Amino acid sequence: MRILNNGLSPYVFIFSVTGAILGVSILLLYFWFLGSFEGSYLRLNTIMVAAVLVTLHTIKLGQYVEDRSSEILEILQQMKWYYWNRENKNLYLMFLLDAQKPFQLKFSDTVAVNYSLGVSVAKFIYSTISVTSRLRDVDFAGK
């Protein structure tokens, strides 16, 4: 499992960074575009819906993987291992030790793709919308 996670981490990192850049660029386009969006609402909303759906599905997938790995631990703990032979008991113990920590899709040592990341992304988007809407109303000319 750890080898799989190490192999996936660069791709998850690249996917997350490009997703964040896409989200910030869409927000900046919405709030700082000085022209008219007339006739472009359908295209902009389609891009926004696509970005939101990809983000939600990625977070849901990460949480699903984490939940299923936790279920594996619960199943292992309920097995009647005491009837097994020595070799199978050793395999069981190795598998049980590996399943103690739930498998998470990670792109760094501290950030895992799950619902807590989704909440953090939602807070970041709300903060960005709040700041850019305030900055949009500020008159920088000083008149």
68 vs 11, residue with greater confidence: 68
Query: Residue 90: its pLDDT value, please?
Result: 92
**Predicted pLDDT of residue 32:** 66
pLDDT for 13: 72
pLDDT tens by residue, 43-89: 777 877 888 888 888 888 888 988 988 898 898 889 888 888 999 99
pLDDT digits (tens, 9 = 90+) for 101-136: 888 877 767 777 788 888 888 898 888 778 877 776
Handedness of CA 64, 124, 18, 27 (dihedral sign): positive
Which pLDDT belongs to residue 5?
A: 58
Q: What is the rounded (10 degree) CA torsion for 70, 73, 78, 84?
A: 160
pLDDT at 69: 87
- Identify the pLDDT of residue 118: 85
Domain coordinates in residue numbering, the chain: 2-137
Through-space distance between the first and last CA atoms of the chain, rounded to whole angstroms? 61
Global pTM exceeds 0.85: no
**Mean pLDDT throughout 30-39?**
65
Residue 59 contacts residue 112 (beta carbons within 8 Å): no
